[in-house]
Structure 1
Amino acid sequence: MYSMFAKFKIFHRPYANNLQQVLSPYHMSEAQWGLIRYIYEVGPATNSEIALYWSVEKPSVTVLAQKLIDQRLIYVLHGTDKRKKVMHLTEEGIVKYKQLKKAVHSFQSSLLEGVTEEECEIVEKVLDKLQQNIRK
């Protein structure tokens, strides 16, 4: 029998591939979608904040952000500390977020067929605990 971690690993690849198929018509990668979603749902953020949240190196976020700046989906302003650059969504970025949100929601809803709300809550709680433990 597969362990829980093996099941996560086995699920991740087809999930990511299918999500990319959903995002492709919008000329968007999974990582770009994640950055747009974060800024829309959490608020303006620095590259460092995103890197910490995603557990990645800051240059990875910088490259990603530059692509979204080039597409005019985000813009950067200096924070109160001139060294900090804070990313914001443009109006076009907000429109793109809403388009993508509908498409991604539809895809994810199809995956949750036969899964109860209670089961979703349990998985979320377990993943939160695992994330806390791995960051120790």
Structure 2
Amino acid sequence: MSNTQNFSETLAALKQSLVDWGRHLRLKWLAFSRDPQSEANQSYQELKQGLETLDQQMAQRYGDRYLTVREKAAEAKSWYNQQIDAQRANPDHPVLAERKQAQVEHRVNELGQTVSRMEKEVLTQVKNRLRSNAPKS
């Protein structure tokens, strides 16, 4: 009986949370529909503050390791933006990723041909040994 009561209480709390959440969303939507720019700016500022808080917490928790990862991420972002800018400046030249993909496909083809050739050689050797060891009648 207490399991049923606990389940009922949990379900009621969940329903109330959903109702509250729905109200909050409706209020946010009404505010956004009245002044979308202001609401977008407010949401952006809240997000920015949350990210700054997270950044501080990560720096406190992980110290130099986090700072190193953050620097590497900034370098990767810079490199990516440079690649995009270079692609936009010269749309006729293939993007680095496309060149790398072509190189990988070429190498895989070469490896596939090598494996096929070796497989044929091994099969030929096995056949020759079987023939040489076969009893002659």
TM over 0.5: no
Q: Classify the TM-score, shorter chain.
A: under 0.3
TM-score, length basis structure 2: 0.28
Higher helix share: 2
Larger Rg: 2
TM-score, length basis structure 1: 0.28
Structure ranking higher on relative contact order (CA contacts 8 Å, 6+ apart): 1
